[in-house]
Structure 1
Amino acid sequence: MANTAAVIAEHVRASGAGVVFAYPGDPVIELMEALRALDVEVVAGTREGTAVFMAEAQAMVTGRPGVCLSTLGPGSTAIVNGVAAATWDRVPLLAISGQIDAGREDLVTHQVVDHKLLFSPVAKWAGRIHPRSVDAVLRKALRLAVAERPGAVHLTGSAETFAAPAPDTVVTTPPLDGAGGGVRVHRTPNGPDPEALLRSARRPVLLAGAGATRCGASEALIGLAEGVGAPVVVSPMAKGVFPEDHPYFAGVLDMACNKVLWDFLAGADLVVAAGFDPVELIRPWSVAVPVLHVDTTPNVDQVYPSACEVVGDVSTSLEWLANGLRGEPRWREADIAAHRDRLRTAYYAGRVPGRLNPTDVIDVVRAAAPPETVVTCDVGSHKLLVGQGWRARRPRSVLMSNGLSSMGFGLPGAIGAQLALGDVPVVALIGDGGFAMAATELRLAASRGLRLAVVVFADGSLNRIELKQRALGYPGTATRLDDVDLVALAGSMGCAGVRVTSTAELEKATAGLGCLTEPLLIEARIEPGQYEAQF
């Protein structure tokens, strides 16, 4: 008879998670050993808060649940931010925390935190592992994590529980996909028919979100855009779901050049919101254009009104809408190209000649990175420019936290992605504030010989907040960062490091980006003036 830990480990392995990210503690020793015995690698982060980001990024690139472990007390409280990030970023995550034995939980206070109360507000479910029900609990946890909209599930178990014998069972993994293939139409009384609505539109715009990525809707998006002759705007976490070199690509919403995109949407006569999740909106929905809601879930957010909803798998729904839609393109490609020219002009506004600008860093790194490169982006002023300016060539190639928008994701996210992807090159684009939150994970990257490049936009400031203070007429308070020699820091962690202050130096530093043999940190000393012009 297997113990409870062994059953959990079998479920984790069957889910496709070859790596579990953890910070060890007494209660989870038995579980870690069960994972090791099944060849599921347990990778220790420098702290729990970065380990959970690694698991989230692994799920982002694979579409399967990421898994992380923590111990009790401070170990569990340390993963709350990452659990919340996965839930708001709509990423499937299984988080398991140790706990004191159940017989003492109500009597002992040392390191005891009520996990049900702690995680219920930030997870889809906060459950408890018991030997008699462990199989059903793991099936429920994994299925719930991937079900639309996906997110984090948290489970609690004690050392006593993990070591206890469990009933014999044949582990079977539940379906680990989201929406089904059916399509349902919901309309207000006497509301419009979705096909007629799209057929009658003269200037429709497709707005694709992360739900389209989860449903593998790239081909369906391209087919509908080309069939109708309609431009496609994407949300930041959906970058790559529609090719950004396609003549109908029209930009990324709520990143840099925000006004240009919102003005563009306002000029449409129909917005087809395809898997678009309002969790990514930084500013309120501000256009009065009719919306056709196409998503795996009904329009329960009501951030925008929609008299007609097409609910089901986004790819299937778009294919159904596109069926039979032909004729003259609604938009001329020249008009979309003119819009992209306006977007490009706005994107480069504020560049300071002779200095290393944020857009210079993005352009040089994108040009040097191999086409298959996956990029992770931390939160800060640079994220808004990366979100608009980094040209994505395929889905799941740009990873960012844009639901919870948590700083500190970029570096551990790059490590998690690299461990999941193997030889695929990974680049992390990080502000110096976000880098400071996770810098010691460079040592893990070095010890694993990862091929990742870490580019730090170094300006010595928490720029987004500093700009907002300035806009209110306040002096900068608690936003300046002490100068740190990041090259020396990289060396102390076993990584290569280089400092650049010009485009030419950056081009030289990135010349071998596709053939790294060890982690490389590039400290890019940027001129932040462009941020002020942008935001």
Structure 2
Amino acid sequence: MSAKAGTAGPDGLSGTTADVMVRALAAAGVQRIFAYPGDPIIEFMECARRHGIDVALGYREGTAAFMAEAHAMATGGIGTCVSTLGPGSTALVNGVAAATLDRVPMIAISGQIETARQAYFTHQVVEHEQLYRPVTKWAARVEAQAVATTMRKALRVATAERPGAVHLTCAADTFAADAQDATVRTPPFAADALAGQVFIADGATTRPETMLAAARRPVLLAGIGASRGDAGPAVLALAAAVQMPVVVAPMAKGVVPEDNEWFAGVLDMACNEIVWDLVRSADLVLAVGFDPVELIKPWRVPGAVVHIDTTPNTDQVYPSDLEIVGNIAAVLDALARDYTGQHRWTAAEVAAFRRRLRDGYYSGRVEGHLNPTDVVDAVRAAAPPDTLVTTDVGSHKLLVGQGWPAMSPRSVLMTNGLSAMGFGIPAAIAAKMALPDRPVVAMVGDGGFAMTATELRHAAARGLGLAVVVFVDGSLNRIELKQSARSYPSTATRIDDIDLVLMAQSMSCDGARAETAGELEKALTGLATLTRPLVIEARIDPGQYQAQF
């Protein structure tokens, strides 16, 4: 269905440029676009509506981009967001950059003034390609003469390993112009099912199976590449065959169930030194789909590394004398099948390490106070097993990253590449839109809540039954702790108190306040049956953060 009749192109199809763009997105499985409207994009939004694509309003462009990113994270599809020109396009940048560094496929589209005025006009005119080129995989213009081809390339670039954001600019008159290139052909998205190339450094002749068989204390480090490639079962099979611990990167939580006997913890979250001790003790690390974009601390691991991923180790954040580039699950299956070495670890040793990690996780807890770990535990106890949790950025994220037991992929959504504050609430809203039958909980700090709280009014208008648990300590804690460590005063790191219950009620949400574990438990009652957003103001004692970090 076209927005208007249009003139038939050379391929016999017709439609406006906007119509072809929308048809290309729909063919790629896009069912929802997150937008903040403006004059140049009216034609595009109307085409999307006519094609049955839900156009969801974000209350600002930046949160619309976060929603698109989270929608892709939750579904495994392609996130899509659209903004107007000028300030709309500049406000979109943060979420687009997050998608690129979080390795999430995204198509971001911004309108522009009419083509004839672009050469000389200055009001609200920003050079989009220059603006977006540093934070995307590709930034380009859409023209009526090449619209289908441009969309095909945009979709392929966004989804190719490593995935990320593509930004497209389209002038207002181009959106409405008859497309001369209107045949939509969706590119292939599935990865090659076969293992690819093996790269061995000069002087190193050892094969991966030989290295693995000779290793005395191997550790498998799984990252977001393994999660994207649905390699979780293969990770577990290899871990069981070799009998070695599995450490996961934060955005890969759930790639293996965290109650599995070989699961050993999450890297660079709470108690990070304990987990690093395990990794540094390894004489061989299998870096499986591990993306160093998630590293917070430098790589200082003396043991050998085998890099197994869909892309070569071009970052060189960690050295690897051996790289296996191809389908991750196929590589791991082959290693498990051919393994002939002795078992070096026991399940009891890994269980003892998990107990040490758990003890460290609860360190600094103050009896009689509402501690951050109390909040994580209470939400987990009240939440059904299939709950999807999102988290914002801050001290609470490090605790959620380590302490929330993820049992399936895509069940914990966080930004840990760009690590941008303001992600948690938009992510929860998008996740609930995408997966309405699943309980959704956002775990956010009071700083992140202040950035995006008004988005909850839209969630209420849509009747989205999600919960937002706010860790209220009146502080930008991660930075305040660093100020304190240098004996500096708390400059610009204190947050003025807000009555979040009243604020929630003003946005047609439910609100509750909890200062004790009992009050929090009561506030969380009925978490699985919410019919509109619930905001819980959890007033925590931040002292535990000091012990943790």
- Shared fold by TM > 0.5? yes
Partner of 1:528: 542
What is residue 128 of structure 1 aligned with on the other side? 141
The alpha carbon displacement at 1:453 in A equals 0.5
CA gap 1:273/1:168 in 2 versus in 1, 3 angstroms = closer
State how 1:149-164 maps to structure 2 within 5 Å.
149-164=162-177
Secondary structure of 1:27's counterpart equals helix
Aligned partner of residue 336 in structure 1, secondary structure: helix
CA distance in 2, matches of 1:482, 1:506: 22
Kindly indicate whether the alpha-carbon contact (under 8 Å) linking 1:147 and 1:177 is maintained by their aligned counterparts in 2.
no
Match of 1:420 in 2: 434
* CA distance 1:525–1:368, shift in 2 (3 Å): same
* Residues 1:267 and 2:278 are matched in the alignment: no
SS of equivalent residue, structure 1 residue 242:
coil
**Mapped pair 1:399 → 2:413:** yes
User: 4+ residue stretches of structure 1 with deviation over 2 A?
Assistant: 167-170, 176-183, 326-330
1:252 to 261, 266, 283: 266
Residue 168 and residue 280 in structure 1: after superposition, are their counterparts in 2 closer, same or farther (change >3 A)?
A: closer
Q: Distance in 1 between matches of 2:320 and 2:56?
A: 46
For the residues of structure 1 that align with 2:244 and 2:277, how far apart are their CA atoms? 16
Is 1:372 the counterpart of 2:386? The answer is: yes
**Counterparts of 1:99 and 1:395 in 2: how far apart (Å)?**
38
2:76 is matched by which residue type in structure 1? G
1:307 maps to 2:330: no
Counterpart contact for 2:213–2:340, Cα < 8 Å: no
In the alignment, which residue of structure 1 is the partner of 2:20? 7
Deviation per CA, 1:176-214, whole angstroms, max 9, x where unpaired? 235653332110124221111111112110000000000
State the match for 1:82 in structure 2.
95
Deviation (angstroms), 1:327: 6.0
Counterpart amino acid of 1:238? A
Q: How far apart, in 2, do the equivalents of 1:403 and 1:125 lie? A: 18
Deviation at 1:328, TM superposition (A): 4.4
2:510 counterpart residue number: 496
Q: Which residue of 1 aligns with 2:373?
A: 359
Tell me: CA distance 1:465–1:178, structure 2 relative to 1, closer, same or farther (3 Å): farther
Deviations 1:146-198 (A, max 9, x none): 10111000000011001000136432211223565333211012422111111
- Contact 2:139/2:167 (CA < 8 Å) preserved in 1? yes
1:81-100 equivalent positions in 2, closer than 5 A: 81-100=94-113
1:54 counterpart SS class: helix
Q: Distance in 1 between matches of 2:52 and 2:325?
A: 40
SS of equivalent to 1:417: helix
The residue number in structure 1 matching 2:255 is: 241
Q: What is the match of residue 301 of structure 2?
A: 287
Structure 1 residue 144 corresponds to structure 2 residue 160:
no
Q: Contact conserved, 1:146 with 1:178, CA < 8 A, in 2?
A: no
Cα distance in 2 for partners of 1:140, 1:11 equals 11
Aligned length: 535
Q: Do the aligned partners of 1:294 and 1:314 also contact (CA within 8 Å) in 2?
A: yes
What is the DSSP-based 3-state SS (H/G/I as helix, E as strand, rest coil) of the residue aligned with 1:437? Answer: helix
Q: Could you tell which deviates more after superposition, 176-185 or 42-51? A: 176-185
Q: Does 1:22 align with 2:35?
A: yes
Q: Does 1:50 align with 2:63?
A: yes
Matched residue, 1:174: 187
Q: Does 1:435 align with 2:449?
A: yes
Q: Counterpart of 1:215?
A: 229
CA distance in 1, matches of 2:181, 2:283: 60
SS in structure 2 at match of 1:484:
coil
CA distance in 1, matches of 2:298, 2:181: 53
Q: Deviations over 1:460-483 (max 9, x none)?
A: 000000000000110110000010
Cα distance, 1:518 vs structure 2: 1.3
- Unpaired stretches in structure 1, ≥5 consecutive residues: none
Whether the 8 Å contact between 2:244 and 2:262 is mirrored in structure 1 is: yes
What letter is aligned with 1:489? M
Q: How has the CA–CA distance of structure 1 residues 364 and 406 changed in structure 2, closer, same or farther, with 3 Å as cutoff?
A: same
Which of the numbers 392, 398, 403 marks the counterpart of 1:389?
403
Residue 302 (structure 2) pairs with residue 321 (structure 1) = no
Q: Secondary structure at the match of 1:90?
A: coil
Q: Percent sequence identity over matched residues?
A: 62
1:512 aligns with 2:526: yes
SS at match of 2:52: coil
Deviations 1:72-105, CA, capped at 9 Å, x for gaps? 0000000000110000000000000000112211
Q: Among 47, 69, 84, which residue is 2:82 paired with?
A: 69
Instruction: For 1:393 and 1:451, locate their aligned partners in 2 and report how far apart those are by CA, in whole Å.
Output: 22
Which residue matches 2:212?
198
Aligned to 2:465: 451
* 8 A contact 2:148–2:181 mirrored in 1: no
Q: 1:330: how far off?
A: 2.2
State the distance in 1 between where 2:293 and 2:189 align: 23
Distance in 1 (CA, whole Å) between partners of 2:414 and 2:144 is 37
